[in-house]
Amino acid sequence: MDLSGQAGYWELLNTSESGEVFSQRARSASDAAVLRRKGHLKEQDRLIDFMRRMHETHTCEEVMLKMERWIAEHRQDPRRSRLRRLIPGIGAFFTPLKLVEAFREYDAFFALSRRKYIPPNFAELRHVVNIAQVHASADTLKLITFDADGTLYADGAHMEQDNQMIAHIINLMRSNVQVAIVTAAGYPGEPDKFEKRVQGLLEAFRKLKLPAEVTNRFHIMGGECNYLLRVRPTDKRLEFVPDAEWKTATMKSWREEDIVALLDEGEAMLQEGAKRLNLAVNIIRKNRAVGIVPTQPTIYEVLEDIALTIQTQLVAKVPFCAFNGGNDVFVDVGNKLLGLEALMKYLQVTPPEVLHVGDRFTDSGNDVATRDICSVLWVANPEETGFFIKMLLKDIRKSRWQPYIE
């Protein structure tokens, strides 16, 4: 993407939007604040932390030049790369990342390189990495997945008809990209409860009279990896995909008694952690998950400690994830990595063709596992999601010559 100077970035931030189906959104200078609002982001990441420390001895562009070169080297030989030695535990990179170009694009607008004393902060480096990932994924993207709460809409909310992401999701689907929501929410045998979470999107499908060819490209993976739903072509309602059609051999091998034992032990540890930290909670038990919700004000670090304690101490015969949801702590059967693995096999796509967008990539977040199977975008709030998906759509249009319809 050729964006030279501030004018190009303003053009990106203020893409013309119009249409009768979706309400028009304000186009003003306030749009530029999207990348400045970090929300309730918890900033933990080995790669970005290392890049921040590099600024003590390097200029911004020198950091990006070295990291771009080291990532390319790591992609060729992950076990013996310089990056592996510098950042133990660094994962895979499924696409090259042109960090220098991404930095120059970002710098032309935010002037990071012209600061005299203050280096880029965590969020600014995250934005640069995101921009590089968007540009890298656009040409080959076949599946994009989204976390729900905090990514597509605010925590505890739903996708209403005025959600800016509705138009973006539909345009992705019209561009022949599969779209899926991968969420911890799980409602076995109750597709109507999943529908309530995305009611505005399904209503748009009906209002636009989208053909089955398009709506077949939308799925929801619920309960991390336990339920897969698709859109019925006749009435644009959700229905469960039969387990036999999509579950992996690993998932099919899980025994019910082992799942119950996991949830029993998880519940006991959640209660013990809450008691240890003097936290009054309500217990929520589901078929494939158990969690606690505080009944009194608390702080993030309390929930973080409970989640990390369970991650390190719980031993089970089936895979699980214990995560801090920001307002609760849950132990779920399986994780999003397994959900994405099954979805990718079902849709017949490969890791370099997949991009996951989420807001919880810290050690206690339930998006972090997806890094082992595909490229990711780390966002802080739904507004950031909209910004980067708008950028992605512009790249896709440029590479595939498709008009943006809203």
What contacts 24+ positions apart, CB below 8 Å, involve 281-285?
A: 284/328, 284/330
Quick one: tokens of 236? 């644009």
Residue 235: closest CA among 193, 272, 206, 197: 206
Q: Would you list the DSSP string of 3-63?
A: --HHHHHHHHHT-----SSS-----SGGGGGGGG--TT-----HHHHHHHHHTTTS-HHHH
Residue at 276: amino acid letter: R
Quick one: tokens of 131? 């921009």
Quick one: tokens of 375? 């490229």
Interacting residues of 203 by C-beta distance below 8 A, sequence separation 6+: 161
Query: Do residues 396 and 174 touch, judged by C-beta distance below 8 A?
Result: no
Active-site position among 31, 107, 147, 367 = 147
DSSP letter at 167 equals H
Residue 116: count other Cβ atoms within 10 Å of its Cβ.
4
Interacting residues of 6 by C-beta distance below 8 A, sequence separation 6+: 108, 109
Please report how many Cα atoms fall inside a 13 Å half-sphere around the Cα of residue 300, on the Cβ side: 9
Quick one: tokens of 337? 């990595």
Whether residue 149 lies in the annotated active site: yes
- The Cα angle at residue 362 between residues 148 and 312, in degrees rounded to 5: 110
List Cα–Cα distances, 324 to 83, 112, 270, 285, 361, in angstroms: 29, 32, 12, 16, 11
Query: Do residues 3 and 108 touch, judged by C-beta distance below 8 A?
Result: yes
Active-site position among 31, 107, 149, 359 = 149
Which residues participate in catalysis according to the annotation? 147, 149
